[in-house]
Amino acid sequence: MRALPGLRGLRGPPSLQLPLLLLCLLAAVRRGWADGNTTGAKATGPSWGGRARLGPASPLTTLPIREEMMTKYSNLSLESHNISLTEQSSVPVEKNITLERPSRIELTCNFTASGDVNSVNVTWKKGDEQLTNYCINATGKNLYTQYMFTIINSNQMGNYSCFFEEEKKQRGTFNFRVPEVQGKNKPLVTYVGDSTVLICKCQHCSPLNWTWYSSNGSIQVPVDVHVNDKYAINGTNANETRLKIMQLSEDDKGSYWCHAVFQLGESQMHVELVVLSYLVPLKPFLGIVVEVIILVAIILFCEMYTQKKKMHTDDGKEFEQVEQLKSDDSNGVENNAPRHRKSESVSQ
């Protein structure tokens, strides 16, 4: 897999992209033609249509199709992603890419060879499938390979890997996924008769549509919004959906699933709803109330008991009464107590 001299990879300004692209394609086609039908003659997906399967990289048929595709989808946005590998990379390098809309994709892998650049074996795979139509370019010890394609529906989503084989096989993977939906991890606790709102959010994305399902067990049943005044689905932004459930009853408990529908697939999240009756916290409440009553009774009885003891043992001694009203100054009456009568003056 020799890189053609003079080609410096597709790093030029955008105006040069298309001609460079064509050159790259030409090179790829010529290489494919030279190798015959060894590897990578399979189509990469339905976008290449039946015609690409006609023969191993038949130059006359594949080139016009690619050109056609390119012009047809040239109004799609371009995503470029890059992975750098070295001989010493011990773990496979992965890059996760979230994609919402159909786009043209440009994947570049960069490899620093320790030995001879030309002896490195470069391949691309989607899942287990070999890919063709990629370019290779080398400057000094650095090897660049680039694979370009378009994603227009969910079939083209998946994992794309570039492989560099010198002594060890080094791998870089691009994982394409639809954006994830966030919901609540903890169950939502509510009471019978309340209403609640289940929220699903998607950061930095706008799904085409949101749908809600409820499930008991493994089957997901769509939520029927037309039952009168029970459910209401609305979202303030496109990246959020709210399912409002009113007049909760015990039957409403279980798992609810929100699905975010994109052009390139679906992602889902589940929210757990728990509906309790008011009796559930009432039991510990009554227990604690009983405990407080017992405590107060103990305290007051202890006090009355010590008062009675004092009354019986210290006859004629003054004692503090348990009653809460302050009585008048009646200290003239019981006067023979040896306790705390320091001075007779009442003024301060």
Where on the chain is the footprint of other proteins (CB under 8 A)? 186, 189-191, 194, 197, 276, 278, 280-282, 284-285, 288-289, 292, 295-296, 299-300, 303, 318-321, 324-331, 337, 339-343, 346-348
3-class SS at 223? coil
- With respect to other proteins, which residue has the nearer C-beta, 78 or 189? 189
> How far is it, in rounded angstroms, from Cα 200 to Cα 196?
13
- With respect to other proteins, which residue has the nearer C-beta, 221 or 297? 297
Token duo for residue 161: 């890997």
H-run or E-run covering 301? helix 279-313
Q: How far is the CB of 191 from other proteins (least distance, A)?
A: 5
Q: How far is the CB of 189 from other proteins (least distance, A)?
A: 4
- With respect to other proteins, which residue has the nearer C-beta, 238 or 282? 282
Token duo for residue 62: 């594949």
Token duo for residue 13: 């300004």
The residue count for the chain: 348
Q: How far is the CB of 318 from other proteins (least distance, A)?
A: 4
- With respect to other proteins, which residue has the nearer C-beta, 85 or 245? 245
Q: How far is the CB of 309 from other proteins (least distance, A)?
A: 15
Strands 134-139, 142-151: pairing is antiparallel
CA 335 to chain CA mean position, Å: 82
> How far is it, in rounded angstroms, from Cα 286 to Cα 292?
10
Q: Which residue type does 64 have?
A: P
Q: How far is the CB of 218 from other proteins (least distance, A)?
A: 27
Token duo for residue 112: 């620093």
Cβ of 267: how many Cβ atoms within 10 Å?
19
- With respect to other proteins, which residue has the nearer C-beta, 94 or 291? 291
H-run or E-run covering 200? strand 196-201
Q: How far is the CB of 291 from other proteins (least distance, A)?
A: 9
- With respect to other proteins, which residue has the nearer C-beta, 24 or 275? 275
